[in-house]
Structure 1
Amino acid sequence: MVGDFTMAHGMRFAPHVHPVHQLSWATEGTVSISTGAGAWVLPSTRALWIPAGVEHAVDVSGPAVFRAVHIDRSPHGWSAPTVVAVTSLLRELAAYLTDPALRGDARRRAEAVLLDVLRPVSAATLEVPMPADERALAVARAILADPSDARGLAAWGREAGASGRTLARAFTAETGLSFGRWRTNARLRAALFLLAAHTPVSVVSRRVGYGTPSAFIAAFRAALGVSPGAYFGGAPE
């Protein structure tokens, strides 16, 4: 079946599982889907194949329309979450499958075609786990609230009441990421939501803490493998 869910700013679907496979993406806006394998921020040009039984959660940081396609069969024996390109044909097939009168052989044929057109694309996860240490947690929350804040750990430590080394150890031990990598992921995740809202790259780069658009594009490409324009299916940069 196919379901569309209108999600308001800050809404989430708590971790849950389905007995069938699911193909999920945002037909409008951007969603973040997290599993035990990582977290993906998905614009309308990318979807996540979630195998049956895999626990996942869905979050948005802005208005979005979340689409979930439930299918009994798995394409190519995929057993792990897989990011795929949302092509025009895939969109049309999903829309076709929303017809509740579509049943039996006709539905199975449409589902077979949808499975056949799924194409994996390279996509890194952007995990932003929160530290447990109260001082590091305060820093993390402040950066999420303002990704453009460029203060280093020494400056953050003076505000949080801990040395820079203590904060660095907390981030590494409790998030599995260095402070620098954690902040980069936080900035890029914030950038994806802005880009999905058609905010120009020049504006996005400033809002998430990069001095120039070229520096932002380089960081985006290093983390996600493509430029912002390519990630959003050829949107202008």
Structure 2
Amino acid sequence: MTIPLIRPELLTAPDVPFLMAGELTQRASREVASHAHARGQLMGALSGLASVGVGRQQWVAPAIYAIWVPPYCEHSMRSHGPFSGWSVFIAEERCAGLPAQPRAIRTTPLLRAAVRRAASWTGALLDARQARIAEVIMDELAASKAESLNLPSPEDPRLMRITDALAADLSDSRRLEEWAEWAGLSPRTLSRRFVAETGLSFAQWRAQARLLRALELVAEGVSVTTIALELGYENVSAFIDMFRRATGTTPGRYAAAATSNQEPGCAASRARENP
């Protein structure tokens, strides 16, 4: 049974605050099936890493990042290892000034402190002090910038066949020309359609997929050697170099910082890979 961060009846009851928050830490991993609700939801990890599925896109939320899901947007969530995380639920009518599309954001210390305070509230109507804190959360979310912690999926069935195959085996190092032949289209068409449908070149998409999977495996405590092999890197050094370029730190330091909910280094950015 999945333990709710906030009692479900509070999310739909009349005369409840426009903003409610909850925190939860459990020894077991957490998995929430695909669902939607009228409130917008901002969710993040206190430590470790959570993955959020929105349609055919997959987002990851290391500690100090969060995923925003607008009202009525179907989504799922799972943690990698024991779960320690939080969520903020915002009434539909107050979401008009917030991002209209799902996004990953880098949380500020102010936002994290405000969410922690809001998570201690009982669900009663907000007093003046609580209302000010709730508005801080709203302001921080409205001012946030989107971070590249998602993996966009194409809609062309031929491209989907390639991305599904790669997702199943990220160690597959076939070149673009080989994938094009396998999927039954020309290399030029594959290259053009990939950029048009995902905003990334084929090489960038594969590098981003490898980075996001690396973040998941690091959060699960998998050894660096095992991760390098699973993702198709020639050696451990090549994997560590990629990880450092993308996150600003090594896998070991990243894992330690995520566990303690500290800044792990530079923001994880979209990785680059030579074709």
Normalized against structure 2, the TM-score is what? 0.59
Does 217-226 or 204-213 show the bigger shift? Answer: 217-226
- Greater Cα offset, 173-182 or 131-140: 131-140
Residue 47, structure 1, aligned to residue 65, structure 2: yes
Whichever residue aligns with residue 50 of structure 2, its letter is V
CA distance, structure 2, for counterparts of residue 148 and residue 210 of structure 1: 7
**Displacement of 1:180 after TM fit?**
0.2
User: Residues of 2 paired with 1:64 and 1:123: CA distance?
Assistant: 27
* Distance across 1 between alignment mates of 2:250 and 2:38: 33
1:97 matches 2:115: no
1:234 aligns to what SS in structure 2? helix
The whole-number CA distance in structure 2 between the counterparts of 1:52 and 1:133 is 26
CA contact (8 A) 2:88 2:115 kept: no
Matching of residue 194 in structure 1 with residue 217 in structure 2:
yes
CA distance in 1, matches of 2:74, 2:38: 6
Residue equivalent to 1:59: 77
Superposed CA RMSD = 4.4
The range that moved more, 205-214 or 185-194, is 205-214
Separation in structure 1 between the aligned mates of residue 128 and residue 156 of structure 2, nearest angstrom: 55
Q: Which runs of 5+ in 1 are unaligned?
A: 73-77
Distance in 2 (CA, whole Å) between partners of 1:140 and 1:51 is 24
**Cα offset for 1:86?**
7.5
Corresponding residue number in structure 1 for 2:176: 153
* Contact 1:130–1:137 (CA under 8 A) maintained in structure 2: yes
Matches within 5 A, 1:1-237: 1-3=20-22, 7-8=30-31, 11-14=32-35, 18=39, 23-27=42-46, 29-33=48-52, 40-43=59-62, 45-48=63-66, 50=68, 57-60=75-78, 62=80, 65=83, 66-70=85-89, 82-84=105-107, 90=113, 93=116, 97-98=119-120, 100=122, 108=130, 111=133, 124-234=147-257
- Give the partner amino acid of 1:100: T
CA displacement, residues 113-135 of structure 1 (integer Å, 9 cap, x when unaligned): x96xx9x9999413322222222
Give the distance between the partners of 2:108 and 2:252, measured in 1 at CA: 14
Superimposed CA distance per residue, residues 35-66 of structure 1 (whole angstroms, 9 cap, x where no aligned partner)? 8xx975223x2232749879684533756635
Following superposition, the deviation at residue 34 of structure 1 comes to: 7.3
Q: 5+ unaligned residues in a row in structure 2: which ranges? A: 1-19, 92-96, 260-275
Conserved in 1, the CA contact under 8 Å of 2:23 and 2:87?
yes
Residue by residue, what CA displacement relative to the aligned partner does 1:142-184 show, whole Å, maximum 9, x if unpaired? Answer: 1111111111122223322223333222212221110000000
Q: How many residues align?
A: 222
Question: For the residues of structure 2 that align with 1:200 and 1:107, how far apart are their CA atoms?
Answer: 46
> How many percent identity over aligned positions?
33
Matched letter for residue 203 of structure 2: G
